Amino acid sequence: MSARSYRLVKIGAEIAVPVAILVAWQLWTAHAQSPRFPRLSTILTTFQDMWLFSQFGTHVVPSLERVGLGFAIAAVAGVAIGIPLGLSRVSRAAAMPHIEYWRAMPPPALLPISIVLVHSIGNEQKIAFIAFFCLFPVLLNTIDGVRGIDPTLIDTARSYGVPRHERIRRLVLPGAMPQIMAGMRTSLSLAVITMVLAEYFSSTSGVGYVLLISKNTYQLGPMWAAIVLIGVLGYLLNVLFILAERRLLAWHRGWRAATS
């Protein structure tokens, strides 16, 4: 098979499988006539009515805001804490048990305490909740990335008298960046999960809240539309992240290809 026809087949398969699933869903639901499983066409019509764009501002925007802020705080804090921990064995020994403990904590287990401590129905509690759980993948990957930097590189910079803060900026941070980005990607999907969770339990807005209300009022069309939207949001955020990563780490792909 030529490279070109291989690509066509590959793209065809990527599109064909989801289309086939959706068609099957439509045919099955049309036949089953179950209120719990609305037809695809019904879901899509509801989706369009709700999210394009009458409730977009009231529910989607707040959700995205929380995901964005929570993720951003986690990314910055994870790198800022991870770099010193990656550089110092002693501080690592002091911090690792705590990190391992909290990162093993399932998010729902902390939801009650988060509502009690940051008792707001507003954004602070949800952003703090998202940021807390998104912190760990970035933090652990930053520590690993920093530890993996070639000592020859650090020695070279030291021999040139490059001051410590410059070494961190010019060597440590870019050297650890491939792993930091891998951690951020994990965190981003975690941000969507924790966003839905937080909104489902204590909120007056957001897609997680819509999910809760439509479930409680047995509006299964809107409920399915919310589920579809959450999936689409997660998918699009990941695509955006991959595009950003490709630009930022272009050197890494070339370097890997050249050295492997």
Residues in contact with another protein by the rule CB under 8 A: 150, 152-153, 155-163, 166, 170-171, 174-175, 177, 251-252, 254-255, 258-259
Cβ proximity to another protein: between 128 and 162 the closer is 162
Distance (Å, rounded) from C-alpha 75 to C-alpha 187? 8
Give the residue from 195, 138, 192, 145 showing the smallest Cα distance to 171: 145
* Least Cβ distance, residue 197 to another protein (angstroms): 37
Distance (Å, rounded) from C-alpha 81 to C-alpha 226? 36
* Least Cβ distance, residue 241 to another protein (angstroms): 19
For 253, half-sphere exposure in the C-beta direction (CA atoms, 13 angstrom radius) is 7
Tokens describing residue 79? 């790198």
* Least Cβ distance, residue 170 to another protein (angstroms): 6
**Alpha-carbon distances of 53 from 26, 42, 56, 192, rounded to whole Å:** 24, 17, 5, 20
Distance (Å, rounded) from C-alpha 81 to C-alpha 67? 21
CB distance 233 to 199 below 8 Å? no
Cβ proximity to another protein: between 12 and 163 the closer is 163
Cβ proximity to another protein: between 10 and 247 the closer is 247
* Least Cβ distance, residue 81 to another protein (angstroms): 23
* Least Cβ distance, residue 76 to another protein (angstroms): 21
**Alpha-carbon distances of 88 from 84, 114, 148, 251, rounded to whole Å:** 6, 31, 13, 28
Cβ proximity to another protein: between 52 and 258 the closer is 258
* Least Cβ distance, residue 259 to another protein (angstroms): 6
Give the residue from 131, 136, 65, 108 showing the smallest Cα distance to 202: 108
* Least Cβ distance, residue 245 to another protein (angstroms): 14
Q: How far, rounded to the nearest angstrom, does the alpha carbon of residue 111 sit from its chain's CA centroid?
A: 19
Cβ proximity to another protein: between 94 and 250 the closer is 250
Cβ proximity to another protein: between 57 and 161 the closer is 161
Cβ proximity to another protein: between 6 and 255 the closer is 255
